Amino acid sequence: MTAFLYALTVLIWGTTWIAIKHQLGPVAFEASIAYRFALAGTVLAGALILSGRLAPIPRRHLPFVALQAVCLFSCNFACFYLAARSVPSGIVSVVFSAATIFNVANAYLFHRRRPAPRILAGASIGLLGIACLFRDTLAGTALDRDTAIGLALALLGTWFFSAGNLVSARNQRHGLPVATVNAYGMLIGAALVAGVAASRGVPFGFDPSPAYVGALLYLAIPGSVIGFTAYLTVVHRIGPEKAAYMTVLFPVVALTISVFAEGYRVTPLAGLGFALVLAGNVAVFAPLRRWRGQQKGRPEAACDA
């Protein structure tokens, strides 16, 4: 099941960057983020209520649910949408791949948890592959003031996402259900974005075009309800450091779609990038499985999980 959730998250979030492009238009980005998470939170909460699975959040945990909303359902996306104004979405997705590094660094900074060498090796190989995939795009982007600001915002958004991983892991360790926390968190995130936008006088318009509505529905239901639930479940099962390696695979999915939908041509360097990303995935996960197979029945085998 963990492998299925891993693959599902990669497939869904690898395609959301394309949908975000259709939200950058006449509607203010704050409004688009608020619409996305208000719809996602409502749908998820409604489904949990109908199934009798919406659990109450104890008062002592509410600040951490709100913190998760700040990191995963508001501030990070505000940074990404702002970054996409001045930086191509492909580059934003490359920067997002740095979540692997941020998660390792934050885990050590806040929990003094040293990453296994294979995780560092796999992340490094994967990031090198991403650099190969987007070398032409990166080289063709002039680093002017707006681009520098866009890159900084993308990095800040990635840091928020990484911090949110740790907050979610904390909430799950205390027995809070992933779906319930996500439902409340999405609604809180939508309210935060809407409140800040309203205080700044941002108009809340709406674009009824099929492209905008379709993108909104895709980002809210598969991208948020399914994607975040699957991803944060994987975080709980394998840890934030290994789960973050998914972010290295997102641009690969986006490029694969571009081959068929946008006529993207795979150069030899890009082919090398694909191979390196897959090799990084093997480095992160295969050694653990072999070790467990060899050490079956011995309690030491679990210490690497």
Inter-residue contact 35 to 125 (CB < 8 Å): no
Tens-of-pLDDT digits for all 305 residues of the chain?
888 998 899 889 888 877 887 787 889 999 999 999 999 999 999 999 999 999 999 999 999 999 999 999 999 999 988 887 777 666 677 778 777 777 777 777 776 777 777 777 877 887 787 777 666 555 655 556 777 788 889 889 989 998 998 899 899 999 999 999 999 999 999 999 999 999 999 999 999 999 999 999 999 999 999 999 999 999 888 887 678 778 777 777 776 776 666 555 667 876 787 778 777 767 766 645 444 444 444 433 333 33
The torsion angle over the Cα atoms of residues 30, 31, 32 and 36, rounded to 10 degrees, is: 110
**pLDDT for the residue 67:** 96
**pLDDT for the residue 143:** 59
Helix axes 227-238, 2-21, angle to 10 degrees: 140
**What φ, ψ does residue 204 adopt, rounded to 5°?**
-100, 75
Identity of residue 195? G
| Nearest CA among 241, 223, 254, 250 for reference residue 304 | 241
The residue written with tokens 């520098």 in the block is 148
Give strand ranges (E) for the chain: none
The residue written with tokens 């990038």 in the block is 273
* Measured distance CA(296)–CA(278) in Å, rounded: 27
| Nearest CA among 289, 293, 282 for reference residue 305 | 289
**pLDDT for the residue 113:** 72
Inter-residue contact 23 to 211 (CB < 8 Å): no
**pLDDT for the residue 300:** 36
